[in-house]
Structure 1
Amino acid sequence: MSIVALRVFIYSVLPVLAATVHVALDKSCRSRQRTLEIFLLYLFGVGVAGSGIGGFFGHFFISDTVAQSIGWPKGNPFQLEVGFANLALGVLGIVAMGRRDGFREATVIAVTVFGLGATIVHAIDIIETGNLAPGNTLQNVSNLFKPALLIGFLVALRRTERSPGSETTKPTFEAWRAPRVRAVGLMTASVATGFGVGFGIGQPMISTFLGIVVGAGSVVFTISRTSRGRVIHRRS
């Protein structure tokens, strides 16, 4: 698997897979609101924050390698600006995990505009030059797939929030959500670190797999510890 294909999997497919497993194993995620919230947490965390910060490090610190994967000239200072644009998206993703107001819509708009814009630029380059490098073609799958997922899940969640009897306005929902925000944050950091270290040592797949395993363990530990704490509190 190429680096570009692995990156597309990590930041576009993995969030959906991880959220699906999480919902299946976490017995507290039985309501529609909680299920949608879990999917959005992984999309904003791994999909947006992880991808954005990872993109910043790639374009800023190993810009020549990234340029080569796209099939574009090396050493262009504009690539550093793209790195900071990615960093901005990463920060937006982090903040969007912790908030549930209109900041999420703003983040989705930013991700969508950047993704569509990048896809248009790559498409023009393909038409004009025939450049079919993985970074110029395969990356567009993520550029389009991720915004579509974010829009779909966020619209669905907003609809459930407006429905009668929605639990999203109750304090219990935020109490349930808080440890899961931390858990997904740890998962994001672990996966992104695994991918970055693996890229540096030439073993991206192995290192990324270890990052996923450690991240999954962090999610289980964080949520189970919170659940045990609540049980002890109720008994006391």
Structure 2
Amino acid sequence: MVFWVPLIVWALAIVVAVLMSLRGSRPFSLAVLADELLRYILLLPVGLQGLWAFMGHVFFAEQSAAAIGWATSPFQAEVGMANLGIGVAGVVGAFLGSPGFRAAVGIVALGFLGGAGMVHAIQIEETGNLASGNAGPIFYTDFLTPLAVLGLLLIQRVLGPVPQR
């Protein structure tokens, strides 16, 4: 699952965002597409994947640690709680968040996920740990997800307001 979940949520976010952009009551534009992409990246890769990581680290700590190639640790509960907060903030930001709230979610995700990605990179370099939870898709989405949120917010700022639904 550690290998597939990041790929599945990203694929779903892109497909649903494109479909909603084309189907929506607003005329299609790059601004509408950016808005929908931001919404579904917040909902799926940030929100649902954050909640999935929370459940894994808190309720399935041994399996999660093994997937990362690490020993089980009490710190997993802390990591799980951080994922819970980010996941809930992503879900809220998807539908209720102002640009400022969404930016805050992106910054927190960049700090946490980007930091986790750097730890994974160090582990790959220093120990050769190529476990799927360390060097698989999760490694890349640790950087991609928060950068996509912040990048889409910047694109929205440049393109201007989007017509409301």
Same fold (TM over 0.5): yes
Question: Equivalent residues in 2 for 1:1-236 (5 A)?
Answer: 3-26=1-24, 28-74=26-72, 76-97=73-94, 98-138=96-136, 139-161=138-160, 166-167=161-162, 173=164, 176=165
Alpha-carbon deviation of 1:167? 4.9
Separation in structure 1 between the aligned mates of residue 31 and residue 5 of structure 2, nearest angstrom: 29
Q: Quick check: which has more Rg, 1 or 2? A: 1
Deviation of residue 57 (structure 1)? 0.6
Residues 61-89 of structure 1, C-alpha deviations (whole Å, 9 max, x = no match):
01100111011012x11001000000010
Structure number with the higher helix fraction is 1
Q: Which amino acid aligns with 1:90?
A: G
Aligned-pair CA distance for 1:26: 3.2
What code does the residue aligned with 1:50 have?
L
Q: CA deviation at 1:102?
A: 0.8
Q: Is the 8 A contact 2:55 2:80 kept in 1?
A: yes
TM-score, reference length from structure 1: 0.64
Runs of 4+, deviation exceeding 6 Å:
none
Alignment root-mean-square deviation, CA: 1.7
Seq. identity, %: 34
Displacement of 1:100:
2.0
Q: Distance in 1 between matches of 2:12 and 2:141?
A: 11
Q: TM-score, normalised by structure 2?
A: 0.90
- Unpaired stretches in structure 2, ≥5 consecutive residues: none
Gap runs ≥5 in structure 1: 177-236
Q: How many corresponding residue pairs?
A: 163
